[in-house]
Amino acid sequence: MLKVVIRSDASSYIGSGHIMRCLVLADRLKLEGHDVLFATRPQNGDLVTLIKQRGFSIYELQQPAAWLVPNSTADYAAWLQVTEYDDAQECATAFDSPDLVITDHYGIGAQWHKVVKKAYNCKIIAIDDLVREHAADLIIDQTLLREPSEYHLLSSKAVVLTGTEYAIINTHFSHRHSSQLIAPNTLLNTPHLLLSMGGIDAPNATLHVLDVLKKSVNPPITTVLLSPKAPHYKCVKEFAVKHSAWLTHIDFVDDMATLMCEHDIAIGAPGSTSWERACVGLPSIVIALADNQQTICKNLETVGAAICVDLEAISKNLMKAYEQLIADYSKMRTINLQLCDGQGVKRIMKHITKLLSGSLTLRLATQLDVEQVYAWQSQPETRRYALNKDVPSLAEHRVWMTKKLASKNDYFYIIELTNGEDEKKTPVGVVRLDMTAVDTYIISIFIAPEHFGKGVAKLALKQVDILHPTEIIHAVVLKENTASQALFSRAGYQRINEEQFTRQPVE
């Protein structure tokens, strides 16, 4: 199990999108067996309660001496409420040796990354949309039409993932995507419209849109989604009650994918929700509420997936855009379904696994490793859950290991970690695969006690999957060894009985 820290905020200025997409990634990291902690600054419009409800611990960052008010929607320094350096300094001493730190905050960049990376010698992932400078190992920018070459990399080893194939959206959407591909591509006379301008909607675009729609001879059957945290929640709620014949208001929904699939078209803000709408084939009118959303608006319109309306021109241009949306529905729906398949998190996790295991390798053991392996095997912590509790003599061990190394059917690996910038390799354990039948092996693994709890065994099993994808691998784990039983279950091994596990060939 690896320790992961996610540094992100939500507020009445920032909105909720950064935290929401981080929660999607956090859910997947947790499912993979990692320990995830959120570091966030509690403030007006935050999502601290939701993060806790989703089962994650929170480190609450210090309150500023005086709260800053951004002077524009692009005043990202004010979003952070403290200087980037001060935020980094607090985070550099707050956590217990994280293996991975993920940032999703327009106020955090290269300076922050350098401070935190130096403090923990950890991997850094930056989620971004604005082509800023990062000192990160992995950069994720899900912006449509974005290219990796747009980023200036401070490290030649950094990897940049761009485009909607890396959209961070809930797996509910990928499950819905395939069914929408074969769904009817026609529109009802009175379409069902989903109106969602984000969790905050500071400029009250929601009400401006509703004012236009109510003037239509035949208003669409509309669902408006707006959180009680929104500053204009009350007036929207009252409007919905007054126009209940065609309008329904909801505060929050757990399954956005299902809600979207119940509608034909949408009006909303850009951001991650754009890729959610695309994944289920929901043509939309998009209205940018902030400067950082303009690029997404322009690119969605460029590919024919959405129609853009300026915030200041809602009353003038919305109805014309709505009529065009209806006319072009079929074509736009097809384009949206082609934009995003909802598999972004799955693709990102493969890169995270590679990133975290990049410092871990398996090499074939040699005679030079005999005494090191013996030293590990002789320790009480290693023998505690061994199937054979007796400690052999060095002479007996030498004979046994020499025979294993000479076998043409078995594999004897030394697990090595690469340390820091000097690339020095340190042996930290053993993985053995002993053949029991054709293309079938039994696995044994142990880690040096001083490296317990660092996720080494999990990464080593990932490496085994890479090196031996076509073989069947069995494992025998004593029932009292609960940690190893959990390890194999999380690594994709199927439990056969209370002490036996099997991994079938992997993709």
The CATH 3.40.630.30 domain(s) of the chain lie at: 358-503
The residue among 179 and 299 whose pLDDT is bigger is: 299
Closest of 33, 4, 6, 32 to residue 19, by C-alpha: 6
**Residue 188: pLDDT over 80:** no
Query: Do residues 315 and 211 touch, judged by C-beta distance below 8 A?
Result: yes
Query: Do residues 225 and 259 touch, judged by C-beta distance below 8 A?
Result: yes
pLDDT at 453: 77
**Residue 420: pLDDT over 60:** no
Mean pLDDT of the chain: 93
CA atoms within 13 A on the CB side of 247: 25
pLDDT at 419: 67
For the chain, give the percent of residues with pLDDT over 70: 98
Cβ neighbours of residue 55 under 8 Å, at least 6 residues apart?
A: 30
pLDDT at 507: 62
Mean pLDDT score, 271-284: 95
The CATH 3.40.50.2000 domain(s) of the chain lie at: 172-339
pLDDT at 346: 94
Cβ neighbours of residue 323 under 8 Å, at least 6 residues apart?
A: none
Closest of 267, 283, 168 to residue 225, by C-alpha: 267
Q: According to CATH, what is the number of the domain 358-503?
A: 3.40.630.30
Closest of 54, 50, 47, 48 to residue 26, by C-alpha: 54
Q: Each residue of 234-277: pLDDT tens digit?
A: 999 999 999 999 999 999 998 999 999 999 999 999 988 999 99
pLDDT at 421: 54
Domain 3-169, CATH among 3.30.70.260, 3.90.870.10, 3.10.310.10, 3.40.50.11190 = 3.40.50.11190
Least confident of 31-35, 315-319, 402-406: 31-35
For the chain, give the percent of residues with pLDDT over 90: 79
Mean pLDDT score, 184-192: 86
Range 172-339 has CATH code 3.30.1370.60? no
CA distance 477 to 474: 10
pLDDT at 358: 67
Q: Each residue of 443-454: pLDDT tens digit?
A: 999 999 988 877
Angle among Cα 404, 410, 412 to the nearest 5 degrees reads 65
pLDDT at 186: 83
pLDDT at 483: 87
Model confidence band, residue 183 (pLDDT cutoffs 50, 70, 90): confident
pLDDT at 353: 82
The CATH 3.40.50.11190 domain(s) of the chain lie at: 3-169
What is the amino acid identity at position 87? Answer: D
